[in-house]
Structure 1
Amino acid sequence: MYSDADAAALYDVLYPWNPETRAANRFYFDLVMAADSVLDVGCGTGAMLHRARDQGHQGRLVGLDPDRPSLDRARRRTGVEWIEGTAADAPSGADFALATMTGHAFQCLVTDHEVRSSLAAIHGALRPGGRFAFETRHPQARAWEKWNPANISDTVDASGRALRIWHQVESVVHDVVTFTETTAEPNGPVLRVDRAHLRFLAPDSLDAFLHEAGFEIETRLGAWDNTPVTPTSTEIITIATRN
C-alpha cells in the first residue's frame, strides 16, 4: 500500500515549488515577500512558506491545512506557525496583510456553504485593506477532459520507488467534477485510489461570492504571464482586497 504520509511526500516530487522556474510560484512568492504577515490557506507540505523564511522573510508566516500528513512534513521547518484546519478555521482578528490559496486549492470548496464560510473566515483573518490571492481553473478550458487514463504519468518518488499515476473522471454535475487519482507500480498492482471533488466556478459566480464576503477585486488575470481573462483563458487568477 501507499500510505497518506507517502502520498504527502510524493506531492513534493510531482509539484516541486520553485519560483525561479514556475511562473505561478513566482506570482505568489513575490506577494509573500512583500507582505509583513502571511496566512497560507491550504498550505500542504509548506513549501512556499519554507522558501519565504529561508529567503529572509522576517514577518509572521502561518500555514493552515486540514491534512495531517502534509502538515507533518511542513512542521520539519521551524520558524513558521502550522495550524491543522480548513479554510473556515482561519484565525479571526489575526490582522494578516496577505492570505493565499495556491495550487487550485480554492476548487476544493465544493458547496456554497463551504465557499461562503471560507471566504468569511479569510476576510476575518485579514486586516482592513488586506489582500487575498488565489486561482481557480477557468471552466471554459474544460481541464477535466484531459484527466483520463490515456494521460499516464510515470515518476519516481523520494524513496526511489517507480510509480505510475493516472486520473479518471467519474462525473460532471453542474460545476462540480468528481474524479479519481490512481497510484500504481508500473505494470504492477494498484497501490491506492483517491477520490476528489473540484468546483469550477465561472468568473461572475466567483465574484458574487467575493463581493458578498466583503472583498473587492483588485487584480484579475487569465494566465501567469499577467494577461487578462480572455475567451481562451485557462485560469482565473484573483487578488481581492478586504473592504
Structure 2
Amino acid sequence: MFSDADAAALYDLLNPWDPDRHPEDHFYYPLVMGAASVLDIGCGTGAMLHLARARGHRGRLVGLDPDRVALERARRRADVEWVEGTAADAPKDANFDLATMTGHAFQFLVTDNDVRASLVAIRAALRPGGRFAFETRHPQVKAWQEWRRSNPDDVVELVDATGRAFRVWHDVDSVLDDVVTFHGTTAEPDGTVLRVDSASLRFLDVATLNTFLADAAFTIEAQYGDWDGGPITADSREIITIARRS
C-alpha cells in the first residue's frame, strides 16, 4: 500500500526546503524572514513556514493548501496557522505583508478564471503595499520535454525514513496551447508501480502573466529570469516575480 500520507512524506524527501542548499529557497528566505506576516499559498506540507518559525520568525505565519493530507503533515508544527483552501480562498482583509507561491504552485492555476480569481483574492489578503512573490517556469525552454522516464535526469532514486527505496519519474500526456498534462509515477526499485498521480500545469509567457497582474491591480516591483536575480533573457528557465499591491 502507498497511501496519501506516504505520498506527502515522500514529497518532503523529494523537495526538502533548505535555503542554505537550494537557490530557489535562498531567494525566498529573506523575503519571508523580513516580513511581519506571511501567507504561503500552496504551502503543501509546510516546510518553508516550519523552518521560518524554527529560525526565529516571530510574526504571523499562515499556510494555505487544498490538500488535506499535506496539511495534516504541516500541522506537526502548531505555532503556525494552517488553512484548507485554494488561492481563491485566501482570507480577505488579512493585511499580510507578504504572500508567496513557491514550488511553481502558480502553474496549477490552469484557466483564466482560476488565475483571475486567485489574484483578486491574494491582493485582498495583502495590506496596501504588500507584496506577492512567486515563480512560474518560462515556456520558452519547454521544460516538459525533459519529463520522461527515458531521461535519466528525471528519474529519482531515494530511500525514506523507514529504509524503503523508491523510484520516481514523470511522463507527459498532452500539451494543449499553454497547458501541459502529465503524470508522476512512484515505483519500487524494480519498477513495480505503487502510485500514479496526474496533474496539469499552465506555462504563461511574460506578457500574458503581466497582463493578468495588471488587471488585478498589482504593480511589478521586480522580475527575474534566474534565482541569482538576473534579468529575463532568451535563455531564462524561470519567470520570478515580486508584485506589489497597488
TM-score, normalised by the number of residues in structure 2? 0.97
- 3-state DSSP class of the match of 2:208? helix
Contact residue 107 and residue 198 of structure 1 kept, 8 A: yes
Q: Give the distance between the partners of 1:53 and 1:166, measured in 2 at CA.
A: 32
- For 1:83, the equivalent position in structure 2 comes to 83
Q: Give the distance between the partners of 1:184 and 1:122, measured in 2 at CA.
A: 37
Task: Kindly provide the CA deviation profile for residues 102-130 of structure 1, in whole angstroms up to 9, marking residues without a partner as x.
Answer: 00000000000100000000000001100
- 3-state DSSP class of the match of 1:144? helix
Task: Kindly provide the CA deviation profile for residues 58-87 of structure 1, in whole angstroms up to 9, marking residues without a partner as x.
Answer: 110000000011101100002100000000
Contact residue 43 and residue 63 of structure 2 kept, 8 A: yes
Q: Give the distance between the partners of 2:98 and 2:237, measured in 1 at CA.
A: 24
Task: Kindly provide the CA deviation profile for residues 112-154 of structure 1, in whole angstroms up to 9, marking residues without a partner as x.
Answer: 0100000000000001100000000000011000000113221
Contact residue 42 and residue 65 of structure 1 kept, 8 A: yes
The question of 1:181 aligning with 2:184 is answered yes
Post-superposition shift, 1:197? 0.1
Contact residue 162 and residue 185 of structure 1 kept, 8 A: yes
- For 1:160, the equivalent position in structure 2 comes to 163
Q: How many residue pairs are counted as aligned between the two chains?
A: 243
Q: Give the distance between the partners of 1:188 and 1:31, measured in 2 at CA.
A: 41
The question of 1:26 aligning with 2:26 is answered yes
Question: Which runs of no fewer than 5 residues in structure 1 stay unpaired?
Answer: none
Task: Kindly provide the CA deviation profile for residues 175-198 of structure 1, in whole angstroms up to 9, marking residues without a partner as x.
Answer: 000001011101142101101000
- For 1:37, the equivalent position in structure 2 comes to 37
The question of 1:236 aligning with 2:239 is answered yes
After the TM superposition, which segments of 4 or more aligned residues of structure 1 sit over 4 Å from their partners? none
- 3-state DSSP class of the match of 2:12? helix
Contact residue 167 and residue 191 of structure 2 kept, 8 A: no
- The residue type equivalent to 1:214 in the other structure is A
Trace 1:40-59 onto structure 2 (pairs within 5 A).
40-59=40-59
Q: Give the distance between the partners of 1:165 and 1:57, measured in 2 at CA.
A: 34
Trace 1:16-165 onto structure 2 (pairs within 5 A).
16-151=16-151, 152-165=155-168
Post-superposition shift, 1:56? 0.9
Q: Give the distance between the partners of 2:169 and 2:121, measured in 1 at CA.
A: 34
Post-superposition shift, 1:159? 2.3
Contact residue 9 and residue 158 of structure 1 kept, 8 A: no
TM-score, normalised by the number of residues in structure 1? 0.99
Instruction: Return 148-157 or 213-222, whichever deviates more.
Output: 148-157
2:229 pairs with one of 226, 230, 238: 226
1:194 pairs with one of 197, 201, 211: 197
Q: Give the distance between the partners of 1:89 and 1:175, measured in 2 at CA.
A: 25
Contact residue 10 and residue 158 of structure 1 kept, 8 A: no
Q: Give the distance between the partners of 1:12 and 1:158, measured in 2 at CA.
A: 11
Q: Give the distance between the partners of 2:175 and 2:147, measured in 1 at CA.
A: 12
- For 2:10, the equivalent position in structure 1 comes to 10
Sequence identity, in percent? 66
